[in-house]
Structure 1
Amino acid sequence: MISMREAGSEKRSNSRIWLSVAVIAVLVCIFWKGSRYPALNEKAMMGGDTPLSGLSFDIIFDFFPDSPLYWAFAANVGSWIVTNWKGMTFGVLFGAAILTLLSVIRTRSFKNGFANAALGATIGAPLGVCVNCAAPIALGLHMGRMRLETTLAALIASLTLNVIVVTMSFALLPLHVAATKLLLSLLLILLIAPLLCRSYDYVSFDYDRDGDIDIVRDNGAIRMIVHRNDRPAGNGLWVSLRDAMGNSMGIGARVIICTGEPEIAPGNGCQMRQIKASGGYQSFDPIAAHFGIGEAREATLIAVTWPDGKITEIRGEEALSGEIIMPRAS
C-alpha cells in the first residue's frame, strides 16, 4: 500500500513535471516565433548579402579600418551583446527549466550510448540556437545527470540539424556538398560522439581495504563502476602525510618502507612511492602512498623525505600495518 506521505510526494513531483513542461513550451514558442526562426529565415533569404560585422550580424556601432583599436573592440562587444542577448537569455532560462524537469524524472537515459546520442539529437535539433546559447542548455542537461553523449549530441545538433540550417545548406550549396555536410553531421552526432564518450576517468586505490588495488571508473553516466580485485592478496600498507609547514598533504614527498631489516639497503624489502596529486583524465588517485608488502605483517622502517629535503623516520615497533598517518609539526 502507498502511504499518505508517498502519495503526497508523488503528487508534488507530478505537478513539478507539468509546470516545468509548461514553462519549457512557453519559452520555446516565444523564442522560436519571436526571434530565432524569423532571424534565420531572414538570413536565408538574404544569402550572401547578410550584414556581418566582426562577431555579430546586428551592426549597432559602426567602425572602419582606420578606427582606433579601443573603438573597434567596444563596437564589436556592443554588437555581439545585442546579437546574442535574446538567445543567451533563452539558453539560461531553458537550461534552468530542463534542470528542474530532470530533477523529478526517474528515467533519464537508455543503457545504449547510441540511443542516448539519438535522444540528444532529438532534443537539440528543434532548438536551433547557436553555440553561445546552446552552452547553458547543455550545462542544464549535464547538471541534471543526463548522459554525456546526450549532452554532447544536443549541443552539436542544435547548430547543425535545425531545419533552417539544413534548408540553407541545400539552397545555397551544391547538392553533393549539402548532402555530405548533413551526412557528416549525423555521423558525428550519432556515431563519433557516443564512441568518444566511452573514454573513462578512473582512480585506482584499495577500495575494500584488503591489501590490493581496485579500480573505480566513470564516464559521465548515472553511476560509477567498481572493478574489485578479488585475487588472493597479501597485506597492504597505506601511508598518508600531514605537514604543518604549509604543504598539508605532503605533495612531492618521497616515502620509503622496508619490511626486512630497518635499513634502506638491497635485500631489505624496501619500496619507494612519491606523493602526488595527479593521475588520469579528470581524476587523480588518493593523495597517499600504497605499498603491497606480501606476507609481511608490518613495515620495519618508514622514511619520509619531505619536499624541503628534511627526513622523518619511524622504526621497529613504531612502524605499524594498515593505514598510517605520518605527521610533521611546524
Structure 2
Amino acid sequence: MARGVATLDYDRDGDLDLVISTNGGPAKLFRNDLEAGPGWVRLRLDGAAPNLGAIGATVRVFVGEATQRFVVSTASSYLSQSEANPVLAGLGGAPRADSVVVTWPAGGRTVAGPVEAGAELVVSHPANGEREP
C-alpha cells in the first residue's frame, strides 16, 4: 500500500521520474527512461535570504508562440514532496527556449535567454535590490 508520490528528475535526463512511499516498506523509484532527446531546459532559482529556495517565484518560459508558466511551491502531494526547484520545462522539440522570465516573490523580475535545449540555467535573485525592467 502506498501513501505518497513525488516527482523529480532523478537521473537528470530531462524527464520526470517517480518516487512512491509505501507503508511499512522501502520507497520505490520508477525511472522514466524514454529516449526523448534534449527537448527540455532545467532552471534553478537562487533566491535571496531568507527565501533561498525562491518559494513563490513565477517562471515563464517562452518558446515560439507558446508560453509555459510554473510556480515554485512547497505544495505537492499527501505525505510527499516533489522537487520544487529546479523547474523542468519541456520545449516541444524546439532547439531552445527563446526567453525565460522569473518574477520574484519579493518583487522584481529577471529576464534571461535564449536557453539551448538540454541546458541548465541558474537564475539568481538580483543583488542589493537591483531589478530588471
Q: State the TM-score bracket (shorter-chain normalisation).
A: 0.7 to 0.9
The residue type paired with residue 9 of structure 2 is D
Residue 5 of structure 2: aligned partner: 202
Report 1 or 2 for greater relative contact order, CA contacts < 8 Å, sequence distance ≥ 6.
2
CA distance in 1, matches of 2:79, 2:119: 28
- In structure 1, what is the equivalent of residue 60 of structure 2? 256
Give the corresponding residue for 1:281.
78
Aligned position for 2:95 = 297
SS in 1 for 2:96: coil
Partner of 1:238: 42
Helix, strand or coil at the partner of 1:270: strand
Please report how far the alpha carbon of residue 214 of structure 1 lies from its aligned counterpart in structure 2 after TM superposition.
1.3
- Residue 216 of structure 1 corresponds to 19
- Deviation at 1:245? 4.4
**1:233–1:294: 8 Å Cα contact kept in structure 2?**
no
- Percent identity over paired residues: 30
> Residue 324 of structure 1: CA displacement?
2.0
- 8 A Cα contact 1:251 1:277, kept in partner: yes
Choose between structure 1 and 2: higher helix proportion: 1
**Are residue 270 (structure 1) and residue 67 (structure 2) matched?**
yes
> Do 2:2 and 2:23's aligned partners in 1 also have CA atoms closer than 8 Å?
no
Specify the SS of the correspondent of 1:239: strand
Cα displacement (A) at 1:244: 2.1
C-alpha separation in 2, matches of 1:218 and 1:323: 29
Kindly state the Cα deviation for residue 292 of structure 1 after the two structures are TM-superposed: 1.2
Instruction: Using the TM superposition, give the Cα deviation of residue 256 of structure 1 relative to its aligned residue in structure 2, in angstroms.
Output: 0.7
Number of aligned positions between the proteins: 124
C-alpha distance in 2, partners of 1:238/1:220?
32
**C-alpha root-mean-square deviation of aligned residues, in Å?**
1.9
The residue number in structure 2 matching 1:50 is none
Distance 2:120 2:23 in 1: 31
Name the aligned partner's letter for residue 57 of structure 2: A
Bigger Rg, which one = 1
Residue 287 of structure 1 deviates from its aligned partner by 2.1
Pairwise CA distance, 1:213:
1.4
Corresponding residue to 1:247 among 51, 54, 60: 51
List structure 1 segments (4+ residues) > 6 angstroms apart after TM superposition: none
Q: SS where residue 229 of structure 1 aligns?
A: coil
Aligned pairs (5 A) from 1:2-13: none
User: Partner letter of residue 246 of structure 1?
Assistant: P
Q: Separation in 1 of the partners of 2:92 and 2:10?
A: 18
Q: Tell me the distance in 2 between the aligned counterparts of 1:221 and 1:240.
A: 34
**Counterparts in 2 of 1:158-177, with a 5 A limit?**
none
Within 2, Cα distance between the matches of 1:301 and 1:212?
21
**Given residue 75 of structure 2, which amino acid in structure 1 is its aligned partner?**
S
The Cα shift of 1:254 comes to 0.4
Deviation digits for residues 212-246 of structure 1 (CA, Å, limit 9, x no counterpart): 21111111444221122233424222212112243
Query: What is the 5 A alignment of 1:288-327?
Result: 288=85, 289-316=87-114, 319-320=115-116, 321-327=118-124
Contact residue 2 and residue 20 of structure 2 kept, 8 A: no
Using structure 1 for the length normalisation, give the TM-score: 0.35
Q: Deviations over 1:163-200 (max 9, x none)?
A: xxxxxxxxxxxxxxxxxxxxxxxxxxxxxxxxxxx132
Unaligned residue ranges in structure 1 (runs of 5+)? 1-197, 261-266
Task: Verify the 8 A CA contact 2:48 2:54 in the aligned structure 1.
Answer: no
3-state SS of 2:55 partner:
coil
Q: How far does the alpha carbon of each residue in 1:240-266 deviate from its partner, in whole angstroms, 9 at most, with x for none?
A: 211224311110110011123xxxxxx
